[in-house]
Protein backbone atom coordinates (compact mmCIF):
# COMPACT_ATOMS: atom_id res chain seq x y z
CA UNK A 1 0.00 0.00 0.00
CA UNK A 2 1.43 3.35 -1.02
CA UNK A 3 0.90 6.52 0.94
CA UNK A 4 -1.59 8.93 -0.55
CA UNK A 5 -0.23 11.77 -2.67
CA UNK A 6 -0.62 15.23 -1.18
CA UNK A 7 -3.67 17.25 -2.07
CA UNK A 8 -1.78 19.87 -4.04
CA UNK A 9 -3.39 23.19 -4.76
CA UNK A 10 -0.49 25.13 -6.21
CA UNK A 11 0.85 22.65 -8.72
CA UNK A 12 4.47 22.21 -9.63
CA UNK A 13 7.42 24.01 -8.10
CA UNK A 14 7.93 27.39 -9.80
CA UNK A 15 10.52 27.64 -12.58
CA UNK A 16 14.08 28.71 -11.85
CA UNK A 17 13.45 32.01 -13.63
CA UNK A 18 10.44 32.85 -11.48
CA UNK A 19 12.38 31.80 -8.37
CA UNK A 20 15.13 34.32 -9.21
CA UNK A 21 12.53 37.07 -9.27
CA UNK A 22 10.86 35.69 -6.13
CA UNK A 23 14.16 35.67 -4.24
CA UNK A 24 14.61 39.31 -5.14
CA UNK A 25 11.10 40.05 -3.84
CA UNK A 26 11.84 38.07 -0.68
CA UNK A 27 15.07 40.04 -0.04
CA UNK A 28 13.23 43.34 -0.52
CA UNK A 29 10.57 42.32 1.99
CA UNK A 30 12.61 40.48 4.59
CA UNK A 31 16.26 41.32 3.95
CA UNK A 32 18.70 38.54 4.80
CA UNK A 33 17.10 36.57 7.64
CA UNK A 34 20.32 34.76 8.50
CA UNK A 35 22.03 38.05 9.30
CA UNK A 36 19.37 38.86 11.91
CA UNK A 37 19.52 35.65 13.92
CA UNK A 38 22.22 35.09 16.47
CA UNK A 39 20.89 32.00 18.26
CA UNK A 40 19.15 28.80 17.29
CA UNK A 41 16.08 29.92 19.25
CA UNK A 42 15.89 33.12 17.19
CA UNK A 43 16.33 31.10 13.99
CA UNK A 44 13.46 28.80 14.99
CA UNK A 45 11.19 31.71 15.85
CA UNK A 46 11.94 33.35 12.52
CA UNK A 47 11.43 30.07 10.62
CA UNK A 48 8.03 29.57 12.24
CA UNK A 49 7.07 33.19 11.51
CA UNK A 50 8.06 32.73 7.86
CA UNK A 51 5.94 29.59 7.60
CA UNK A 52 2.97 31.59 8.88
CA UNK A 53 3.74 34.29 6.31
CA UNK A 54 3.84 31.67 3.56
CA UNK A 55 0.26 30.69 4.35
CA UNK A 56 -0.98 34.13 3.35
CA UNK A 57 1.25 34.58 0.30
CA UNK A 58 -0.56 34.61 -3.05
CA UNK A 59 2.46 34.48 -5.38
CA UNK A 60 3.45 30.81 -5.72
CA UNK A 61 7.12 31.54 -6.41
CA UNK A 62 7.45 33.87 -3.43
CA UNK A 63 5.62 31.31 -1.28
CA UNK A 64 8.13 28.63 -2.33
CA UNK A 65 11.07 30.92 -1.48
CA UNK A 66 9.60 31.78 1.92
CA UNK A 67 9.19 28.08 2.70
CA UNK A 68 12.75 27.35 1.49
CA UNK A 69 14.15 30.10 3.70
CA UNK A 70 12.23 28.78 6.70
CA UNK A 71 13.58 25.28 6.03
CA UNK A 72 17.15 26.62 5.81
CA UNK A 73 16.74 28.44 9.12
CA UNK A 74 15.38 25.23 10.69
CA UNK A 75 18.39 23.30 9.39
CA UNK A 76 20.82 25.84 10.83
CA UNK A 77 18.98 25.74 14.16
CA UNK A 78 19.04 21.93 14.20
CA UNK A 79 15.27 21.52 14.38
CA UNK A 80 13.90 18.40 12.69
CA UNK A 81 10.41 19.41 13.82
CA UNK A 82 10.44 22.71 11.91
CA UNK A 83 12.15 21.06 8.92
CA UNK A 84 9.25 18.60 8.79
CA UNK A 85 6.75 21.41 9.25
CA UNK A 86 8.24 23.31 6.30
CA UNK A 87 8.00 20.23 4.09
CA UNK A 88 4.37 19.68 5.11
CA UNK A 89 3.50 23.30 4.35
CA UNK A 90 5.16 22.97 0.93
CA UNK A 91 3.38 19.69 0.10
CA UNK A 92 0.04 21.36 0.70
CA UNK A 93 0.83 23.80 -2.11
CA UNK A 94 3.32 22.16 -4.48
CA UNK A 95 3.99 18.87 -6.21
CA UNK A 96 7.57 17.76 -5.49
CA UNK A 97 9.54 14.84 -4.05
CA UNK A 98 8.83 15.58 -0.39
CA UNK A 99 10.56 12.45 0.93
CA UNK A 100 13.85 13.31 -0.72
CA UNK A 101 13.64 16.99 0.23
CA UNK A 102 12.91 16.16 3.87
CA UNK A 103 15.64 13.52 4.05
CA UNK A 104 18.22 15.86 2.50
CA UNK A 105 17.21 18.69 4.82
CA UNK A 106 17.49 16.43 7.87
CA UNK A 107 20.88 15.19 6.64
CA UNK A 108 22.10 18.82 6.47
CA UNK A 109 21.47 19.37 10.18
CA UNK A 110 24.90 19.51 11.83
CA UNK A 111 24.71 16.32 13.88
CA UNK A 112 27.86 17.05 15.90
CA UNK A 113 26.35 20.29 17.17
CA UNK A 114 23.21 18.63 18.56
CA UNK A 115 22.63 17.88 22.20
CA UNK A 116 21.28 14.39 23.00
CA UNK A 117 17.66 15.59 23.05
CA UNK A 118 17.85 17.20 19.62
CA UNK A 119 19.78 14.20 18.29
CA UNK A 120 16.92 11.96 19.48
CA UNK A 121 14.44 14.24 17.68
CA UNK A 122 16.53 13.95 14.52
CA UNK A 123 16.69 10.16 14.84
CA UNK A 124 12.92 9.95 15.27
CA UNK A 125 12.30 12.24 12.29
CA UNK A 126 14.72 10.29 10.09
CA UNK A 127 13.06 7.04 11.12
CA UNK A 128 9.68 8.49 10.15
CA UNK A 129 11.02 9.45 6.71
CA UNK A 130 12.38 5.91 6.35
CA UNK A 131 8.96 4.48 7.19
CA UNK A 132 7.17 6.67 4.65
CA UNK A 133 9.76 5.81 2.01
CA UNK A 134 9.36 2.10 2.77
CA UNK A 135 5.58 2.38 2.36
CA UNK A 136 6.18 4.00 -1.04
CA UNK A 137 8.68 1.25 -1.89
CA UNK A 138 11.47 3.80 -2.24
CA UNK A 139 14.06 1.68 -0.51
CA UNK A 140 17.02 3.88 -1.48
CA UNK A 141 15.56 6.82 0.46
CA UNK A 142 14.42 4.51 3.26
CA UNK A 143 17.90 3.03 3.73
CA UNK A 144 19.56 6.46 3.64
CA UNK A 145 17.11 7.92 6.15
CA UNK A 146 17.51 4.92 8.42
CA UNK A 147 21.30 5.36 8.24
CA UNK A 148 20.83 8.95 9.43
CA UNK A 149 18.64 7.67 12.27
CA UNK A 150 21.44 5.30 13.35
CA UNK A 151 23.99 8.12 13.45
CA UNK A 152 21.58 10.38 15.34
CA UNK A 153 20.79 7.69 17.93
CA UNK A 154 24.52 7.19 18.39
CA UNK A 155 24.95 10.94 18.90
CA UNK A 156 22.09 10.86 21.42
CA UNK A 157 23.94 8.12 23.30
CA UNK A 158 21.09 5.62 22.93
CA UNK A 159 23.00 2.52 21.88
CA UNK A 160 19.95 0.22 22.07
CA UNK A 161 17.96 2.48 19.73
CA UNK A 162 20.98 2.65 17.38
CA UNK A 163 21.13 -1.16 17.29
CA UNK A 164 17.42 -1.41 16.53
CA UNK A 165 17.76 1.22 13.82
CA UNK A 166 20.69 -0.72 12.35
CA UNK A 167 18.64 -3.91 12.26
CA UNK A 168 15.84 -2.01 10.54
CA UNK A 169 18.27 -0.60 7.97
CA UNK A 170 19.50 -4.12 7.24
CA UNK A 171 15.89 -5.26 6.73
CA UNK A 172 15.23 -2.29 4.42
CA UNK A 173 18.35 -3.09 2.38
CA UNK A 174 17.18 -6.69 2.04
CA UNK A 175 13.67 -5.61 1.05
CA UNK A 176 15.13 -3.23 -1.51
CA UNK A 177 17.25 -6.00 -3.04
CA UNK A 178 14.23 -8.30 -3.16
CA UNK A 179 12.11 -5.61 -4.80
CA UNK A 180 14.64 -5.10 -7.60
CA UNK A 181 15.45 -8.76 -8.16
CA UNK A 182 13.89 -10.46 -11.20
The whole-model pTM stands at 0.88
Write out pLDDT tens, residues 51-96: 999 999 999 999 999 999 999 999 999 999 999 999 999 999 999 9
User: What is the average per-residue pLDDT within 124-139?
Assistant: 97
User: Residue 175: phi, psi to the nearest 5?
Assistant: -65, -40
Question: Looking at the predicted structure, is the pLDDT value of residue 160 above 90?
Answer: yes
Kindly list the distances between the CA atom of residue 155 and the CA atoms of 26, 76, 106, 145, in Å, as whole numbers in the listed order. Answer: 36, 17, 14, 15
Which runs of consecutive H residues, i.e. helices, occur in the chain? 16-30, 33-36, 40-56, 60-77, 80-93, 98-108, 116-135, 139-156, 159-180
Percent of the chain with pLDDT over 70: 93
Amino acid sequence: MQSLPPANRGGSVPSQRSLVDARSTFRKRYGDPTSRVRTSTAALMLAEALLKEAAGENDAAVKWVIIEEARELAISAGSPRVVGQSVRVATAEFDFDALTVEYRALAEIPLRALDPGRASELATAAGAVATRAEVDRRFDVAVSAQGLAIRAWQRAGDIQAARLASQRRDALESAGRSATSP
